[in-house]
Amino acid sequence: MEPISHNSTALNNTTTIIAATAEYVKAKLSGEGSGHDWFHVERVWKNAVRIGATENADMFVVELAALLHDIADWKFAGGDESAGPRAAREWLERVHVDEQTIAHVCEIIRDISFKGAGVTTSMKTKEGMIVQDADRLDALGAIGIARAFAYGGHKGSELYNPQVKPELHASFDDYKKSRGNTINHFYEKLLLLRDRMNTPTARRIAEERHAFMETFLQQFFKEWKGAE
């Protein structure tokens, strides 16, 4: 695809806007090392399209929200939950997206994140449910395991510490303050996601990925004890 001028008023159809948004996000997030990089976004985008094809959803909203869901994640913005919606709005206004679509996309980005085991994070629209499912699928399975350890390394977290028990956080503030080890993250979030999927398609995909994580943890703890 030829480069698109992001200042052009010619961004007046959905295909062109989606392509420009993908180009913009790729430039912003390529090379990011915590597992929240362009390739993560691309996988979420593809899974959102796959799930959305079975749900009769507004795919323009779905694709924009999937592409922009990590454009300014609160984890990398000093805990500021408004950073993502604000950055998404700035971009979407720049490419002349209508206000109703912008508001919908920003609402999805605001609500999408996991906020703790004890916090309900239900999405208000079908489109939000699809994008949330697509994002959560990328936290499961082999990719989910790899991303968990990439993020743990990025934060300087311990690999595992048997003396530190998992905590099922009751509030988003508690979750944001958590400094637990990476293995605990499986019990505090990742293993909970299968049962929190919104759509039948995502629930089916999640089953295999969840089972793979359980197998990994069994092997991890076996090896942690030392050679037998």
Helices H / strands E in the chain, number of each: 10, 0
DSSP 195: G
Q: Could you tell me which of 148, 219, 158 has the C-alpha nearest to residue 187?
A: 148
pLDDT string in tens for the chain (228-residue length): 333 344 444 456 999 999 999 999 999 998 887 788 999 999 999 999 999 998 989 999 999 999 999 997 756 546 567 888 999 999 999 999 999 999 999 999 999 988 777 777 789 999 999 999 999 999 999 999 999 999 999 889 999 999 999 988 777 777 777 778 999 999 999 999 999 999 999 999 999 999 999 999 999 999 998 855
What does the alpha-carbon distance between residue 68 and residue 45 come to, in Å, rounded to a whole number?
9
Q: Using N-to-C axis directions, what is the helix angle for 200-224 and 38-52, rounded to 10°?
A: 140
CB 7 within 8 A of CB 94: yes
> Which CATH number describes the domain made up of 14-224?
1.10.3210.50
What does the alpha-carbon distance between residue 228 and residue 221 come to, in Å, rounded to a whole number?
12
Q: Where are the beta strands (DSSP E) in the chain?
A: none
CB 127 within 8 A of CB 104: yes
Q: Using N-to-C axis directions, what is the helix angle for 59-68 and 38-52, rounded to 10°?
A: 160
Tokens of 122: 């239900």
DSSP 141: H
Residue 157: count other Cβ atoms within 10 Å of its Cβ: 20
Question: Nearest-5° angle of CA 127, CA 130, CA 136?
Answer: 140
SS (H, E, C) 77-111: CCCCCCHHHHHHHHHHHHCCCCHHHHHHHHHHHHH
In this prediction, residue 105 carries a pLDDT of 97
Residue 132: count other Cβ atoms within 10 Å of its Cβ: 29
